[in-house]
Amino acid sequence: MPSTSRGTMAATTLDALESEAVHIFREAAGEFERPVILFSGGKDSTVLVHLAVKAFWPAPVPFPLLHVDTGHNFEEVIAFRDRVAAHYDLRLEVVRVQDWIDDGRLAERADGLRNPLQTVPLLDAIRSLRCDAAFGGGRRDEERARAKERIFSLRNGFGQWEPRRQRPELWNIYNGRHRVGEHVRVFPLSNWTERDVWRYVEREDIELPSIYYSHRRTVFRRSGMWLTAGPWGGAREGEDVRELTVRYRTVGDGSCTGAVESSAATVAEVIAEVAASRLTERGASRADDLVSEAAMEDRKRLGYF
């Protein structure tokens, strides 16, 4: 499965990150009884599954996958999600935001955004599956609230994150203690950067959804981002509609995920593009993070990913 590296320094960095992530998976497997891997089909959670397979090989990954489907996801990503789960013969639990809307547990937002609605179904799923840990693909370089997270991050009985209850993590000693009803979010990729993820994708020859690479797409301009029409809506009167060569740096909910103009059609070209970029992928392509400076932290306090 592993392939050759391109240089000594690159191999050293990626090997260290891989070793740390594998250690975290095994540590969590020893500390918790019912973990689950949060899996959306995006690049980070795909790398997460790849690392989990390595951590327990030749035994199967001892955790199911969990995806909160907003109903506004890109169809290429949903197809890829299902293909990965089938390839590794992993149980995939899918909870659908639409079900919560249909029975009145959630109300559609006036702005049509589904991303903020994911938290309630996520926490309900964690409770109903009786999960005491949930692996996530969050990285500290993505956004300032995620930079504050510990690798083992405690969530209270309501699934909420309380920054003041952050625990020290000395060396590679993680604290998984929690009370009944609480759970821990585990972030094996905390110390990775976007560029590390792409270099690892290249080294391990990991398949990703096609929309991560440049392609022609009709998009419209809203609040400084190129958005795609879909079940979540389309261009409004007066908005600039064009066909451009774009790709996605993140593949989250389509109602708030923007494409970036790019000609990067291969992993190597994406790595070069990421290296030259002065914007994080969330800053460049996630409208919900731009609502306020504390948008992500506010969502995390409520129990978001």
Give the pLDDT mean for 241-267. Answer: 93
Determine which helix (DSSP H) or strand (DSSP E) holds 124, and give its type and residue range. helix 119-128
First to last CA, the chain: 29
Q: How far is CA 155 from CA 63, 105, 299, in A?
A: 19, 22, 13
Give the pLDDT mean for 249-261. Answer: 89
pTM: 0.89
Residue range 143-180, pLDDT digits in tens: 777 788 899 999 999 989 888 888 889 888 999 999 99
Residue range 59-116, pLDDT digits in tens: 999 999 999 999 999 999 999 999 999 999 999 999 999 999 999 999 998 888 888 8
Longest dimension (CA), the chain: 56
Partners of 257 in the beta sheet?
A: 286
- Residue 287 banded pLDDT, cuts 50, 70, 90: low
The reported pLDDT for the residue numbered 293 is: 60
